[in-house]
């Protein structure tokens, strides 16, 4: 869209000498839609293309595996994955511990396609030939290792995200907000896995930032780690009938620490993950005395609303402080 | 919108553009500071994380209060409806106060309250018509559609919210779907929305958020025209299903199907052409989406090839087309052709990449293994690593 407000502002800024003529001319051309970027459309089409190709390969294997044969399928998909990764390897910029600009718009998507095909091939090989036998979920470790290697070699946060979710899937955990809060509850061993993986992910996030080794990967490690850690702790608070008070205490301590660190580091996302965890844990505490009543009671709901008002006041106060610093 | 709110909105738009110039390295921090001084925005605008957190907490408070009322009054339908109207109206009144305050307008509180307020009032209307007045489910749906149109239209007019503008458009279409000749009405309403909204996309008389609302209405209008003319939607009786709870399928004539087939084939390229000529990415994006829908419709009627060939070929075609366009633009003089470029210009690529990463990880995350005690089952070649599945 032509942005008439920005067009008018550019004219004024140019007249007042804030912008040079060259700057103003370029900005005005973009604001008047004289020059339009198709970057978003190109990336979206490439992403949709990767989605469709992956789905098509899956459909081919599911419907025609008897005719094609497992060896041919495994080899074919593996070669396609190798081809993608080899292309990426040839095009990639030299390795650096810092952020590396993508050498081209197709680079990220060919890498994504290669990793997805490789993961699919490994899963297929394991399903057909049962190489790992009863330990078949361990193929996810191989997938995670491949994704991790790709993430560091070619500086891909998408590959790192896939690595973390594969690692979590190996331990039976899904990285996300909903399962711990809305699901029927998670088993104790899965909670332990989530907490351990979350703590590990957070430790790597800290190490990455402090040692300057891919410090920008902190933005993937830390949120994933917080989701797993807080989700695991909250799962114990909500579903462990025997030791829920201990879980509650642990959740509050960890969420409090997360909030303090988030404020110090000025990471609003981390703060936004810590606050709901603490709130939900405290709501569990508020409802406990009313669990065994013979009829529904509005008191815990009103108390929860009051607690929410307190938390809201805390959010506003912390935001004011962060802004003033 | 209040005149003051329009002024804040304009200043915020200029400041946002200046931040993008700075992020792209086109201006320095000192210039950005001077622009901020020249176009001061008195509103407090937290980052999205703060706004979502604040909105979520406000929603939790309001829902807890409402649940407490529900627990207290659930036996009396009249009291429950009164509670819904009371809480809904209170939310909207508070929203209006907050929307006029630069300290509160953009912190997430007003946004959460407005959505909850409209939701409560619509629920109240549905219960009033359906339960208290016992006018039936069809009447309840009609009443909700009309009320939604009025409420969302009012909210869009008062606060300039693109969300409520779009919802008002959708409510209008839902209401029209329930009248006789719904298909013709959808085409007329869609054309009317596009005719009314498209000329205002660049209007300097509107506030930036109102222009975004015009863009949403344009998209809603084009979508309505497409749905009303799509062949598969016609054959499946999509509008008739939407119109009544107990759908009746009218007989579809040959000429009607021919017109629908032409509409399915011609509307997406026409929108794409409009987007190319006017250099509007909004229209290009809508055209691409509708073209994809038309391709799905074509596949539904004509089995050109097996599904895997269509998926793989379609994917390769999309990616190939994208790369061709990118290469043509990159190799053109000064990296631009006919006013288009593949350069990001002043858009925020980092945010886009983060969204893509989140989408990729969510879409392709591997399924968690079954519990160990169930043992391993190969599943006869089931295919699921990397999120790829055998069902599509």
Angle formed at CA A102 by CA A97 and CA A108, multiple of 5 degrees: 110
Query: Using CA atoms, how far apart are residues A309 and A305, in angstroms rounded to an integer?
Result: 6
Q: What is the DSSP string of A224-287?
A: HHHHHHHHHHHHHHHH-TTTHHHHHHHHHHHHHHHHHHHHHHT-HHHHHHHHHHHHHHHHHHHH
Residue B30: the pLDDT is 95
Q: Do B26 and A27 lie within an 8 Å CB cutoff?
A: yes
Reference A92, options A40, A156, A162, A43; nearest CA is A156
Q: Is the pLDDT of residue A3 over 50?
A: yes
pLDDT in tens, B89-99: 999 999 999 99
Of A124 and B361, the structure prediction assigns the larger pLDDT to A124
Interface test mutation site (partner B, options A32, A165, A265, max chain B beta carbons within 10 A): A165
When computed from its CA atoms, the radius of gyration of chain B, rounded to whole angstroms, is: 25
Q: How far is A242 from chain B (nearest CA, A)?
A: 23
User: At a CB cut-off of 8 Å and minimum separation 6, what does B145 contact?
Assistant: B171, B174, B175, B178
Residue B299: the pLDDT is 87
Residue B354: the pLDDT is 76
Residue B307: the pLDDT is 85
Here the ipTM equals 0.87
pLDDT band at B73 (very low <50, low <70, confident <90, very high): confident
Query: Which stretch of DSSP H or E encloses residue B257?
Result: helix B254-278
Query: Using CA atoms, how far apart are residues A159 and A146, in angstroms rounded to an integer?
Result: 9
Nearest CB partner across the interface for B352, out of A1, A40, A119: A40
Chain A residue whose CA is closest to B345: A37
Query: Using CA atoms, how far apart are residues B216 and B224, in angstroms rounded to an integer?
Result: 12
pLDDT band at A58 (very low <50, low <70, confident <90, very high): confident
Reference A228, options A274, A268, A191; nearest CA is A191
Query: Using CA atoms, how far apart are residues B361 and B374, in angstroms rounded to an integer?
Result: 27
Strand pairing report for A36-37 and B340-341 = parallel
Cβ contact B384:B390 at 8 Å: yes
Provide the β-strand partners of residue B337.
B340
pLDDT band at B250 (very low <50, low <70, confident <90, very high): low
Percentage of chain B surpassing pLDDT 90?
66
* Inter-residue long-range contacts of B63-68, CB under 8 Å, 24+ positions, other chains counted: B63/B116, B64/A301, B64/A302, B64/A304, B64/A305, B64/A308, B65/A301, B65/A302, B65/A305, B66/B120, B67/A298, B67/A301, B68/A298, B68/A299, B68/A301, B68/A302, B68/A305
The total number of residues shown for chain B amounts to 392
Q: Do B72 and A115 lie within an 8 Å CB cutoff?
A: no
Nearest CB partner across the interface for A158, out of B39, B317, B356: B356
Q: How far is A312 from chain B (nearest CA, A)?
A: 6
Q: Is the pLDDT of residue B380 over 60?
A: no
Nearest-10 Cα torsion for B306, B308, B311, B312 = -120
Cβ contact A325:B64 at 8 Å: no
Query: What number is the average pLDDT over the span B105-111?
Result: 93
Alpha helices in A69-177 (DSSP H): 70-91, 107-129, 139-154, 157-170
Q: What is the DSSP letter of B157?
A: H
Average pLDDT score, chain A:
89
Q: Is the pLDDT of residue A293 over 80?
A: no
Q: What pTM was computed for the model?
A: 0.86
Residue A133 CB neighbour total at 10 angstroms: 9
Longest dimension (CA), chain A: 76
pLDDT band at A62 (very low <50, low <70, confident <90, very high): confident
Query: What number is the average pLDDT over the span A23-36?
Result: 94
Query: Two tokens at B186?
Result: 């959808």
Domain ranges in chain A are 1-36, 38-170
Average pLDDT score, chain B:
87
Query: Using CA atoms, how far apart are residues A25 and A48, in angstroms rounded to an integer?
Result: 35
- Chain CA centroid to CA A207, Å: 18
Q: Do A127 and B378 lie within an 8 Å CB cutoff?
A: yes
Chain A residues inside the 8 Å CB shell of B318: 45-46, 48-49, 52
Q: Is the pLDDT of residue B382 over 90?
A: no
Provide the β-strand partners of residue A72.
none
Residue B372: the pLDDT is 46
Q: Is the pLDDT of residue B27 over 70?
A: yes
Q: Is the pLDDT of residue B340 over 60?
A: yes
Q: Do A162 and B365 lie within an 8 Å CB cutoff?
A: yes
Q: Please tell me the number of Cα atoms within 13 Å of A149 on its side-chain side.
A: 9
User: At a CB cut-off of 8 Å and minimum separation 6, what does A303 contact?
Assistant: A286
Q: Do A49 and B280 lie within an 8 Å CB cutoff?
A: no
Chain A residues inside the 8 Å CB shell of B13: 3, 5-6
Residue A200: the pLDDT is 96
Q: Is the pLDDT of residue B183 over 70?
A: yes
Buried/exposed B326-365: b ≥16 CB within 10 Å, e otherwise = beebeeeeeebbeebbbbbbbbebeeeeeebbeebbeebb
Residue A175: the pLDDT is 63
Query: Two tokens at A63?
Result: 């419907």
Q: Do A55 and B388 lie within an 8 Å CB cutoff?
A: yes
């Amino acid at each position: 869209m032509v942005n008439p407000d920005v067009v008018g502002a550019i004219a004024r800024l140019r007249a007042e000498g804030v912008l040079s003529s060259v700057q103003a001319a370029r900005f005005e051309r973009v604001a008047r839609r004289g020059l339009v970027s198709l970057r978003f459309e190109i990336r979206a089409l490439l992403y949709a293309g990767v989605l469709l190709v992956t789905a098509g390969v899956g459909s081919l294997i599911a419907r025609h595996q008897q005719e094609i044969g497992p060896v041919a399928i495994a080899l074919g998909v593996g070669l396609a994955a190798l081809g993608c990764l080899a292309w990426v390897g040839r095009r990639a910029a030299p390795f650096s511990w810092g952020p590396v600009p993508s050498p081209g718009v197709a680079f990220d998507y060919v890498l994504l396609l290669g990793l997805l095909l490789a993961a699919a091939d490994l899963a297929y090989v394991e399903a057909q030939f049962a190489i790992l036998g009863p330990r078949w979920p361990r193929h996810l470790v191989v997938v995670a290792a491949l994704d991790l290697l790709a993430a560091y070699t070619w500086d891909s946060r998408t590959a790192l995200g896939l690595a973390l979710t594969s690692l979590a899937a190996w331990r039976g955990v899904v990285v996300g907000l909903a399962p711990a809060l809305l699901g029927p509850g998670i088993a104790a061993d899965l909670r332990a896995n989530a907490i351990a993986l979350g703590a590990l992910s957070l430790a790597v996030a800290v190490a990455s930032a402090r040692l300057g080794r891919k410090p920008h990967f902190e933005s993937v490690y830390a949120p994933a780690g917080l989701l797993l850690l807080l989700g695991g702790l909250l799962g114990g608070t909500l579903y462990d009938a025997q030791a829920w008070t201990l879980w509650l205490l642990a959740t509050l301590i960890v969420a409090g620490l997360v909030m303090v660190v988030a404020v110090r580091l000025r990471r609003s996302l981390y703060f936004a993950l810590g606050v709901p965890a603490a709130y939900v844990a405290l709501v569990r505490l508020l409802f406990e005395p009313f669990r065994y009543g013979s009829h529904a009671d509005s008191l815990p709901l009103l108390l929860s609303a009051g607690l929410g008002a307190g938390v809201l006041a805390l959010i506003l106060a912390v935001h004011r402080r962060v802004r003033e610093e | 919108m209040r005149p003051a709110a329009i002024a804040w909105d304009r200043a915020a738009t200029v400041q946002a553009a200046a931040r993008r110039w700075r992020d792209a390295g086109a201006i320095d921090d000192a210039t950005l500071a001077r622009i901020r001084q020249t176009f001061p925005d008195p509103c407090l605008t937290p980052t999205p994380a703060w706004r979502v957190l604040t909105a979520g907490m406000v929603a939790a408070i309001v829902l807890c209060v409402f649940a407490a009322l529900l627990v207290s009054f659930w036996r009396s339908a009249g009291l429950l409806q009164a509670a819904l109207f009371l809480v809904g109206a209170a939310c909207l009144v508070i929203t209006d106060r907050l929307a006029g305050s630069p300290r509160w307008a953009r912190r997430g509180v007003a946004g959460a309250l407005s959505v909850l307020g409209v939701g409560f009032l619509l629920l109240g209307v549905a219960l009033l018509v359906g339960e208290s007045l016992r006018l039936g489910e069809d009447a309840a749906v009609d009443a909700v559609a009309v009320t939604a149109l009025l409420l969302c239209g009012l909210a869009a007019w008062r606060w300039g919210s693109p969300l409520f503008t779009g919802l008002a458009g959708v409510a209008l279409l839902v209401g029209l779907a329930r009248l006789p000749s719904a298909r013709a009405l959808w085409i007329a309403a869609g054309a009317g929305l596009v005719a009314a909204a498209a000329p205002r996309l660049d209007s300097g008389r509107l506030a930036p958020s109102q222009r975004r609302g015009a863009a949403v209405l344009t998209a809603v209008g084009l979508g309505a025209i497409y749905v009303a003319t799509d062949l598969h939607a016609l054959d499946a009786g999509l509008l008739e299903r939407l119109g009544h709870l107990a759908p009746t399928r009218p007989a579809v004539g040959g000429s009607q199907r021919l017109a629908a087939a032409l509409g399915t084939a011609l509307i997406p390229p026409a929108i794409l052409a409009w987007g190319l000529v006017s250099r509007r990415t909004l229209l290009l994006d809508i055209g691409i989406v509708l073209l994809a829908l038309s391709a799905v419709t074509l596949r539904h009627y004509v089995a050109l090839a097996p599904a895997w060939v269509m998926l793989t070929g379609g994917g390769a075609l999309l990616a190939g087309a994208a790369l061709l366009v990118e290469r043509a633009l990159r190799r053109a003089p000064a990296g631009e052709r006919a006013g288009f470029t593949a350069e990001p210009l002043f858009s925020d690529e980092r945010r886009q990449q983060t969204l893509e990463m989140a989408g990729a990880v969510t879409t392709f995350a591997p399924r968690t293994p079954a519990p160990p005690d169930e043992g391993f089952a190969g599943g006869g070649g089931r295919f699921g690593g990397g999120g790829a599945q055998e069902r599509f």
